[in-house]
Structure formats: structure tokens, C-alpha cells
Amino acid sequence: MKLLCILTTIAFVNVSPIMTGEYANLVYTTNKYIREAFDNDPAGLETAISNIINEDKPFETLNLMLVIPEKVNIFRINHDERFIMNLPMHIAIADQVAVREAISQVTDIPVPQLGPNENFENDSLVQLGEARRRILGKVTKKLLTDAIGRGRPSYPNLKEVCLLIGLLRSMQFPDSYIKTASVDQAGNVCTLTSQNRNFQYTPYLGYIFPVMTVDNYRRVTSVLIEAMNWFI
């Protein structure tokens, strides 16, 4: 029993490093890069975010890259529900670098550097996450609107639409962020899973609607109307 306890302790030490200020500084400079792209090359930024989304990354990775970088210490690296383990810092840093690389590949904007008086610690991550969502929420909403327009009427791109709805919901409700986004085998229903509930969306009359049944009747409110007042 003592040996088991020792091994468990070692396992936690090996896989649960504490994030350092290096990560917070990288989140800040990535935010700065996103803002400069948003102000100077919005179409390029949209292309960069689309490229990231279309790389078939796990949804939790997309969350950390684009939505909730401040929640890096709550993601499980082995998806074992018995433990909550910190994401290793080198993986978290690589995710932020990947966002910068995606932008640099499609814009001529140079990657910003920290100023002489700019230095951030982990206690700044909450504010940095909020700043990222304020910008990328607008970009993601625009990408979702465009994807819905392209997909009419049959929505062969429902997977893309599903990912964008999930990311937008995570941005609007970061404390109950979406954990998974999937489309059924028939390609008719998008299912989003958060910590405490599921959301489903389906094409209907050329639009995308939440699936909500009340006494077996569909309540018809398109996803764009649902998100109308988000990130305006």
C-alpha cells in the first residue's frame, strides 16, 4: 500500500507541472497578435482561425488555443475521470505558438514581442482569457454566419458548423464550456456536450436550429438568432 502511494505521488509530480509566467506572457503576446490581425487584416485572421478549426484537433485543444487559455490547469491529459491533472507546460505553450503560426502563415503582420515593462504571471490569465474571447467571439460569430450561408440548404458542412457553434458557446459561456462537438453518422444532428448538459442542432428549412422539444413540438429559433446579441 505504501508503495502504491509513493508511485501515485510520483505520477502526479511527473505529469502535473505548475504553469510559469512564460505561459502567461505567451498568452498575452498571442492576444496582442490576434488584436493586430483583427485591426489590420481581419480576413487573414478569419482564414487563420478557419485553418485551425479544420485541422481536426480535439475540441479541448481548440478550447485552450482559442477560447479559455486560462483554464489550462483543469484539463486532463489522460481523460481519467478519477483525477484532474495539469496539462504539461510544453504542450500548453505549443498550443499558443500554433495560434501565432496560423496567423503568420496567412498575414504579413510580424509576431509581437513583449515590451520592456510587460511581464505577466498566472494571476493575469483570467483577464487574458476574457480579452481573447472578446476578439475571437466576433471572428467566430462571423465564421459561423458564413458557414451557415455556404451550407444551405442541405449543410454538407455540418461538422464545421457544429464546431463553430461549440466554440461560440464556449466563448459566450466559458464557465460551462463545451467539451465535445460531434455530428451523427447520418450527418443530420450536431451534439455539443458541456459539463452538465447537451445541446443539439439540426438543419431545418435551410437554417440551423436548436433541437428543443416541448410536448413533442419543435421550438423554432435559429442558432444565429440565439447568438444575435453575443459579441456585438
Residues 62-103 pLDDT 10s: 999 999 999 887 655 444 444 334 567 888 899 999 999 999
Residue with cell 490547469: 73
Quote the pLDDT of residue 117: 82
| pLDDT score, position 21 | 79
Q: Provide CB contacts within 8 A for 211, sequence distance 6+.
A: 189, 200, 201, 202, 218
Distances (CA, A) of 134 to 20, 79, 219: 24, 29, 29
Q: Report the pLDDT value the prediction gives residue 150, as an integer from 0 to 100.
A: 94
Q: Where are the domains of the chain?
A: 2-226
What pLDDT is attached to residue 74? Answer: 66
Cell 484532474 belongs to 84
pTM, two decimal places: 0.84
| Best CA proximity match to 67, nearest among 161, 138, 170, 163 | 170
pLDDT for residue 119: 81
Taking residue 160's Cβ as centre, other Cβ atoms within 10 Å add up to 20
pLDDT given for residue 88 in this prediction: 77
List the chain pLDDT tens, one digit each, 232 residues.
444 343 333 333 333 345 667 899 999 999 999 999 999 999 999 999 999 999 989 999 999 999 999 988 765 544 444 433 456 788 889 999 999 999 999 999 999 988 888 888 878 899 999 999 999 999 999 999 999 999 999 999 999 999 999 999 999 999 999 999 999 998 899 999 998 889 999 998 888 998 865 444 455 578 999 899 999 8
Phi-psi group of 181: left, alpha or beta (phi > 0 → left; psi -120 to 50 → alpha; rest → beta): beta
How high is the pLDDT of residue 31?
97
Of 177, 204, 212, nearest in space to 193 by CA: 177
